[in-house]
């Protein structure tokens, strides 16, 4: 069986994701689809709309054969760490033949050439990058400006959009790990990430806005939710019902209160040792937490020209889970081997799992009660953060609380 690998968030799964799977299978001639999906916290530093098992169920109903979790130690980090962690796991499975990812550009060769430059950083490019950073802009913006100076205006455009940036990180990770996995990209269809307007392919943020608008306006909720009709690759009720039944609209307030208690009751050195905190940012975060009345107010009070909102949100999530810089660095070392946490599968997914068991070089986790004892100390630390992410998601954003659900919930069998 030829296996297609995808690294995703599915927050939530939508038409664009289904289209990517079908287009990728057709072009690559793969007949099995394995997805590494972020757990209950996403790369942008948000808690997911639905828990990871509900999102795995929607993916399995829409063309995916095997869904496994991208651990928090990779999933709620920079684009570079997110991509590197996913590629590291796919490499270790020994079964993935082709990696597919969406991009605004849609052509693999120019992206591959640019990724190689970003890996090797020629002297002239490094000089342009240093000059751009000295102007006070953020690193992503400085890198874009440096590429414009080094390769020209059009090449710089490839670094302006979120999916192109993530695509480049996947290609960098494949190059750095000397992976045998072949890469391909499909051009994103329909609304982009930031679009909130209905289109043939609603974006994930557009879908979330519709759901939140319906929650905030119960008298017109039915009319608002009709905007999802025929816009999803599954029955809209399969998304709406679990959301209405279990989503806690007060989650952001609970998140903020927990952050305030944790950060203000501990020495500032703990915050300073949180990933992505630098240049005295820990003091600005503490000062903002003392006066902020909402989570959005807190985040907006910390951002600056050099520090974008996504970085701030990732800092807050990492501090909430108490992941420090040294441990993240350990997770990203070349010698560290993660695990494969199974969230759901169908019959074809079972076949893929058997192939991984025979050819892979990492432990497979289906029942944490049994399999956690087979992990190394560092793997157990990584798993600890996945479980904390689940507990916080459950405590803040779900009405029906289930403590330590990771030890109770088995994989979804579709």
Domain ranges of the chain: 204-246, 251-329
Least confident piece of the model among 21-25, 56-60, 178-182, 198-202? 198-202
104: helix, strand or coil: coil
CA distances, 318 to each of 32, 43, 66, 397, 401 (Å)? 34, 11, 28, 17, 22
Q: Residue 59: pLDDT above 50?
A: yes
Neighbours of 108 (CB within 10 A): 17
HEC states along 253-303? Answer: HHHHHHHHHHHHCCCHHHHHCCCCCCCCHHHHHHHHHHHCCCHHHHHHHHC
Percent above pLDDT 70 for the chain: 97
Torsion-angle region of 48 (φ positive above 0: left; ψ -120 to 50: alpha; else: beta): beta
Q: How confident is the model at residue 370 (pLDDT cuts 50, 70, 90)?
A: confident
User: Any alpha helices (H) in 152-280, and if so which ranges?
Assistant: 153-157, 162-176, 204-216, 221-225, 237-246, 251-264, 268-272
Q: Residue 195: pLDDT above 50?
A: no
Under 8 Å between Cβ of 158 and 168: yes
Element (H, E) at 397: helix 377-397
Under 8 Å between Cβ of 275 and 312: no
CA 104 – CA 60 distance, rounded (Å): 25
Q: How confident is the model at residue 189 (pLDDT cuts 50, 70, 90)?
A: low
Q: How confident is the model at residue 67 (pLDDT cuts 50, 70, 90)?
A: very high
Give strand ranges (E) for 308-404.
340-345, 364-365
Q: State the pLDDT at residue 372.
A: 78
Q: Which residues contact 135 (CB under 8 A, 6 or more apart)?
A: 142
The token pair at 337 is: 């081997």
Placement of tokens 């953020």 in the chain: 138
CA 352 – CA 33 distance, rounded (Å): 9
Q: State the pLDDT at residue 153.
A: 82
Q: Residue 201: pLDDT above 90?
A: no
């Amino acid at each position: 069986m030829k296996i297609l690998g995808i690294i995703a968030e599915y927050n939530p799964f939508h038409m664009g994701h289904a289209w990517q799977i079908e287009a990728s299978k057709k072009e690559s001639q793969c007949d099995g689809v394995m997805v590494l999906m972020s757990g209950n916290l996403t790369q942008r530093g948000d808690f997911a709309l639905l828990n990871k098992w509900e999102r795995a169920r929607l993916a399995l109903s829409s063309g995916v054969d095997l869904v496994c979790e991208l651990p928090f130690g990779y999933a709620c980090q920079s684009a570079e760490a997110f991509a590197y962690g996913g590629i590291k796991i796919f490499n270790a499975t020994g079964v993935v033949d082709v990696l597919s990812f969406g991009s605004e550009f849609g052509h693999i060769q120019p992206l591959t050439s640019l990724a190689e430059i970003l890996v090797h950083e020629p002297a002239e490019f490094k000089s342009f990058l240093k000059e751009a950073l000295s102007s006070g802009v953020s690193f992503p913006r400085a890198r874009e400006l440096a590429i414009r100076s080094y390769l020209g205006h059009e090449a710089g455009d490839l670094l302006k959009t979120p999916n192109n940036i993530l695509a480049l990180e996947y290609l960098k990770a494949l190059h750095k790990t000397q992976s045998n996995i072949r890469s391909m990209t499909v051009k994103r269809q329909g609304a982009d990430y930031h679009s909130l307007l209905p289109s043939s392919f609603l974006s994930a943020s557009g879908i979330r806005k519709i759901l939140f608008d319906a929650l905030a306006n119960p008298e017109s909720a039915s009319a608002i939710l009709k905007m999802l009709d025929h816009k999803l690759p599954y029955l809209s009720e399969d998304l709406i019902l679990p959301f209405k039944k279990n989503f806690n609209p007060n989650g952001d307030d609970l998140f903020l209160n927990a952050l305030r208690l944790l950060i203000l009751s501990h020495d500032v050195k703990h915050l300073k040792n949180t990933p992505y905190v630098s240049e005295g940012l820990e003091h600005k975060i503490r000062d903002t937490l003392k006066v902020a009345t909402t989570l959005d107010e807190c985040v907006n009070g910390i951002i600056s020209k050099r520090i974008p909102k996504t970085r701030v949100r990732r800092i807050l999530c990492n501090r909430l889970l108490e992941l420090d810089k040294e441990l993240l660095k350990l997770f990203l070392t070349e010698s560290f081997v993660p695990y494969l946490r199974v969230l759901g599968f169908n019959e074809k997914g079972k076949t893929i799992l058997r192939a991984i068991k025979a050819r892979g070089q990492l432990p497979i986790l289906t029942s944490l009660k049994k399999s956690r004892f087979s992990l190394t100390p560092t793997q157990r630390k990584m798993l600890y953060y996945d479980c904390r992410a689940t507990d916080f998601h459950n405590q803040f954003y779900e009405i029906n609380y289930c403590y330590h659900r990771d030890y109770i919930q088995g994989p979804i069998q579709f």
